């Protein structure tokens, strides 16, 4: 099937390459010529495991190409909208739909009867209904389906080719059913692989992604709230999480206490969700998310306070090594990175901070040019008086505390992700601290 993907950022590039791997003829369209040039060479403009290979395969097969001309979407049967919906500037929490509206406006002149527009961007509930009306004004026989994405950075290729569910939000009636049927043909391979399909209405489909992210954020902030209780009482939040995680109703996933969540999805999605609830007059339904957000941000402040405690009350002039800049491992994404937020706070308070990351140094340097960066953990920790593990990259978790101890000025480490073995580090002569642990 001929398919277009409009927007070739993180979501769109992975989705386009994934669709080509499923056997479709795909054209990815983006307004950024530099991004299109990179993708057309089979190069990923960001780090995502498995994506370069998927791009190379798609380009070699002739089933995948990229263009800066939206007219190239003509003759495609399905058009996926994969543009970003960032938080609005100026302190507003609501989602900025500028790119979504622009993508639809650019697509409309090229729509044909019976085309299906599939929205994947995360949008406030009510957006799909509005876009469907806009589409029908221009092409009454085209149809909109809302097909939210559930990609995890670092696992996006796997999540595209083997998703844990597909959701279609369709309009009532025969036209909506026909559009859903066409999308089942697009996803025939993953459906044959056992992926569950939930076919529902527009509103529910739009709510699924933000509801899922809100639940995950709540679970993370819950265990971090328990970490605060453990710090006040001498408890061990890792053992606490292990114990409650054995309850099948709770589960162990997303119960890892530490520095909290960041990135381009969870923080902005829960804030946009709260903003939309306020617009709908049901803001009390999501009041708890304010506390979820507050707990999450409080962890960053606590990390700086803990560093100050370890430096005997002052970090001014202290050389502090930060292991991690990306908001999570296996990614070079530094949007709302807790690690960089902590690094910047400490630098502003007079610390001599050096940040390193296996993949995200250049992105971090672009956003925080005043910080110091190193390209290896060994370089970062040399002569350090305190080391902070803030992104749990496997290579950092695997560091040898004995070897590292020979490079630092003082053997003190704060494990901001509860990822290290405290006994091994203490046995190597390190003073080990962690959030929520004695």
Tokens standing for residue 200: 């529902």
pLDDT at 360: 98
pLDDT tens digit string along 113-150?
Answer: 999 999 999 999 999 999 999 999 999 999 999 999 99
**If DSSP codes are grouped into helix, strand and coil, which group holds residue 352?**
strand
Q: Residues 397-419: what's their mean pLDDT?
A: 98
Per-residue CA distances from 372 to 46, 144, 241, 354, 363 (Å): 22, 48, 35, 5, 13
Confidence of residue 174 (pLDDT cuts 50, 70, 90): very high
Q: Residues 329-340: what's their mean pLDDT?
A: 98
pLDDT at 15 over 90: yes
- Supply the residues annotated as catalytic: 265
Asked if 387 contacts 433 with a C-beta cutoff of 8 angstroms, the reply is no
pLDDT at 18 over 80: yes
> Can you list the positions of beta strands (E) in 96-137?
116-119
pLDDT tens digit string along 236-253?
Answer: 999 999 999 999 999 999
Task: Choose the CATH number for 201-438 among 3.10.180.10, 3.40.190.10, 3.40.50.720, 1.20.120.160.
Answer: 3.40.50.720
pLDDT > 90: percent of the chain: 99
Confidence of residue 398 (pLDDT cuts 50, 70, 90): very high
CA 146 – CA 400 distance, rounded (Å): 48
Would you identify the CATH topology of the domain 2-200?
Rossmann fold (3.40.50)
pLDDT at 84 over 90: yes
The b/e string for 95-129 (b: 16+ C-beta within 10 A; e otherwise) is bbbebbeebbeebbebbeeebbbbbbbbbbbebbb
Q: Residues 216-224: what's their mean pLDDT?
A: 98
pLDDT tens digit string along 309-320?
Answer: 999 999 999 999
pLDDT at 91 over 90: no
Query: What sign does the dihedral 110-115-121-126 (CA atoms) show?
Result: positive
Q: What angle do CA 311, 312, 313 make, to 5 degrees?
A: 95
Domain range annotation of the chain: 2-200, 201-438
pLDDT at 90: 75
**Residue 414 main-chain phi, psi, to 5 deg:** -115, 120
The model's pTM: 0.95
pLDDT tens digit string along 291-308?
Answer: 999 999 999 999 999 999
Q: What angle do CA 290, 293, 297 make, to 5 degrees?
A: 135
pLDDT at 95: 95
pLDDT at 41 over 80: yes
Confidence of residue 92 (pLDDT cuts 50, 70, 90): confident
pLDDT at 383 over 90: yes
Mean pLDDT of the chain, nearest integer: 97
């Amino acid at each position: 099937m001929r398919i277009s993907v409009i927007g070739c950022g993180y979501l769109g590039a992975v989705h386009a390459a994934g669709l080509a791997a499923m056997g479709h003829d795909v054209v990815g369209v983006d307004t950024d010529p530099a991004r299109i040039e990179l993708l057309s060479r089979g190069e990923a403009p960001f780090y995502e495991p498995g994506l370069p290979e998927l791009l190379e395969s798609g380009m070699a097969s002739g089933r995948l190409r990229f263009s800066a001309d939206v007219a190239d979407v003509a003759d495609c049967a399905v058009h996926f909208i994969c543009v970003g919906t960032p938080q609005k500037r100026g302190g507003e929490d609501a989602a900025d739909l500028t790119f979504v509206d622009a993508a639809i406006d650019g697509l409309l002149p090229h729509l044909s009867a019976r085309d299906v527009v599939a929205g994947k961007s995360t949008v406030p509930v009510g957006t799909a209904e509005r876009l469907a009306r806009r589409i029908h004004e221009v092409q009454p026989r085209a149809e909109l389906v809302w097909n939210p994405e559930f990609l995890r950075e670092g696992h996006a290729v796997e999540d595209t080719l083997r998703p844990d569910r597909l959701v279609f939000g369709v309009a009532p009636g025969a036209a909506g059913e026909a559009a859903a049927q066409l999308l089942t043909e697009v996803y025939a391979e993953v459906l044959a692989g056992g992926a569950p399909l939930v076919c529902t209405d527009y509103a529910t489909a739009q709510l699924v992604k933000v509801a899922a992210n809100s639940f995950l954020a709540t679970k993370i902030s819950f265990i971090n709230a328990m970490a605060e209780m453990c710090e006040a009482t001498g408890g061990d939040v890792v053992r606490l999480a292990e114990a409650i995680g054995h309850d099948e109703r709770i589960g162990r996933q997303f119960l890892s206490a530490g520095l909290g969540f960041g990135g381009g999805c969870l923080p902005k999605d829960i804030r946009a969700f709260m903003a939309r609830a306020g617009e709908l007059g049901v803001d009390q339904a999501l009041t708890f998310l304010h506390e979820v957000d507050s707990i999450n941000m409080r962890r960053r402040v606590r990390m700086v306070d803990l560093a100050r405690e370890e430096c005997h009350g002052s970090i001014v002039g202290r050389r502090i090594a930060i292991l991690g800049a990306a908001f999570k491992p296996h990614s070079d994404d530094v949007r709302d990175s807790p690690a960089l937020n902590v690094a910047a706070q400490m630098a502003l308070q007079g610390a001599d901070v050096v940040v390193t990351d296996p993949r995200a140094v250049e992105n971090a340097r672009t956003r925080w040019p005043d910080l110091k960066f190193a390209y290896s953990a060994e370089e970062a920790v040399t002569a350090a008086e305190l080391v902070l593990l803030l992104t749990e990259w496997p290579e950092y978790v695997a560091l040898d505390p004995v070897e590292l101890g020979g490079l630092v000025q003082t053997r003190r480490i704060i494990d901001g992700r509860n990822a290290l073995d405290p006994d091994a580090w203490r046995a190597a002569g390190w003073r080990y601290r962690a959030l929520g642990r004695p």
